[in-house]
A and B are shown apart, each in its own frame.
Chain A
Amino acid sequence: MAVITDILGSTFIGGLLLLLILKLNLFASSNGVSSDNELKLQQNAKTLAEIIDYDFRKMGFNYSGTSILAADSGRIKYMAPLTYSGSVDTVEYYASDSTKALGSENPSDVVLFKKINGVQQGGPSLGLRKIKFTYLDQYNVVTNVLANIKYIKVELWVESEIREMDSNFVNPNHPYLFTYWEMKINPRNL
């Protein structure tokens, strides 16, 4: 009888320990995914910021007229060469709707399209959910006059491309990590 009790007791304790390990493993996996997601989100936001920063600073280089051709909160069109010795092209940036970003689980992300001389070049999504341009004059006052634009404020709303694992900390209706990036670019040639 005592042996049976020992076996049952040890089985129970062993089962508990096994469950503990399984739970720990699940927790580790969940946190690992979340951590990976967060890192990816951070890297994506940075990459988007770098792309915009790199291209926008070329605005107006080797161009004598009004460099910005069109400017609204979701779209910008300007004159700039892509390389130092390259010809001056028409460059356009705008965000697509959410149906264009097919490579991610996130239903809300969009693609940041780039057009050069009217030809669409494709573009990254990188979890971009929304992009907003605000145009400022030399006194840092918002302006819609193209010739007066000296600064461009770019706001990026970026989300993770992979959904978070269910937990109490995740919105079940939209289980994606989120970050916001804002920068003000002063293209020197404007």
Chain B
Amino acid sequence: MGKMALILTLGMSVIISFFVLRLNSNTREGLGTTINMYENTQARLIANSGVEIYLQKMRVNKNLTSGTFPNNTGIDGTYDIYISGPDTNLTIRSVAHYMDVTHETIVKARRDPIAFPTAPAALYVSTAAMQNVKMGGNFTVSGWNHDKNGNLVSKTNNTVPGILVDNNADSVAIVDVLKKNTANNITGKGGGTPNVAVHDYNIDWAGISNTIAFSADATLGSGTYNGGTFGTYSSPQITMINGDATFNGNLSGSGILVVNGNLTIRGTFNYTGMIIAYKESTIQTELNGNGTVIGSLIVSGNSVDMNIANGTFSALYSTEALQNSALNLKSSRFQIVSWWE
């Protein structure tokens, strides 16, 4: 009787054990299925994030066009990045590892060209109202075409107005002031001295500036700059100054200089390319000293307070200088050509 009970108990135990083991095994496999799906998704997200992270790095570091960057960590996994250029045909390959799963993403991209604005004049004052116009001193504004060194290339080909404004009232205000100052030299397309033209292009300079600012190589705060270089002709750069800027001393630069505030140029300031000074309210501009802008100078605001008091400031239109900037400046925007995952 006792033996029978033992046999029965053992039999039942074996059956129950097998049953529990089988259920456990299925539960474990079911969990594994779910986890595997999660791992695949996570690995894919890590690989894709790796591409996005390195695109962001390439936005900031415009010289980053090739290289291997292994063992980056993120989202609890790792990823290796392989970049090959050039800028016009970039391949970014990201291989992510999460748990035992590997995922590969291959992205082809190209760096967008910089949205270089058209320069409508040597000095374009874009505003609804000019006020406090003072134009004294021995200054030169020429819409004739010059080379990168400021030498005259042509008075007829590729020329623009010397000074351009949006409306007749501003033109009258400027011409009235200029007529009292015979020392100025304002020349440009269509002839006549002073060469002041009227045309409202309705250009959104604030919008253009914001777009350009996104690709800034250097972003600076308001202040007085007594020296330094904002790019060179062979290596121009986009410089963004958030706030009022005073250039006082020996400064040079090339590319695009965006000043989101009042602009004051004193001392010796030589710039090739385009300067855009804009402000949502009244913008005050003071152009004195021995500054030279070869390319184009844009001043834009709800109203413009312009003061050219003394010195020998020059603004010379130059297609060569502008084209050099347009060709060599790199934007921080990428066009995704294809995305393999």
Complex contact A24–B40 (CB within 8 A):
no
A32 within 8 Å of B (CB atoms): yes
Query: Is chain B's interface secondary structure helix, strand, loop, or mixed overall?
Result: helix
Complex contact A84–B26 (CB within 8 A):
no
8 Å CB contact of B1 from A10, A20, A35, A50 = A10
B327 within 8 Å of A (CB atoms): no
B15 within 8 Å of A (CB atoms): yes
Complex contact A84–B106 (CB within 8 A):
yes
User: How many chain B residues touch A (Cβ–Cβ < 8 Å)?
Assistant: 26
A36 to chain B: which residues have CB within 8 Å? 26
Q: Give how many A-B residue pairs fall within 8 Å (CB-CB).
A: 59
B8 to chain A: which residues have CB within 8 Å? 17, 21
Complex contact A62–B19 (CB within 8 A):
no
Output the least CB separation between A33 and chain B (Å): 10
Report how far A118 CA is from B59 CA in the complex, Å.
43
B177 to chain A: which residues have CB within 8 Å? none
B115 within 8 Å of A (CB atoms): no
User: How many chain A residues touch B (Cβ–Cβ < 8 Å)?
Assistant: 27
Which residues of A137-188 have CB atoms within 8 Å of chain B's CB atoms? 188
Report how far A32 CA is from B40 CA in the complex, Å.
29
Interface CB pairs A-B, < 8 A, 25:
A21-B11, A21-B12, A21-B15, A28-B15, A28-B16, A28-B18, A28-B22, A31-B19, A32-B23, A35-B22, A35-B23, A36-B26, A39-B33, A42-B33, A42-B34, A46-B37, A50-B40, A58-B340, A61-B338, A61-B340, A62-B338, A84-B340, A188-B339, A189-B338, A189-B339
Report B's interface with A, CB cutoff 8 A: 1, 4, 8, 11-12, 15-16, 18-19, 22-23, 26-27, 29-30, 33-34, 36-37, 40, 106, 336, 338-341
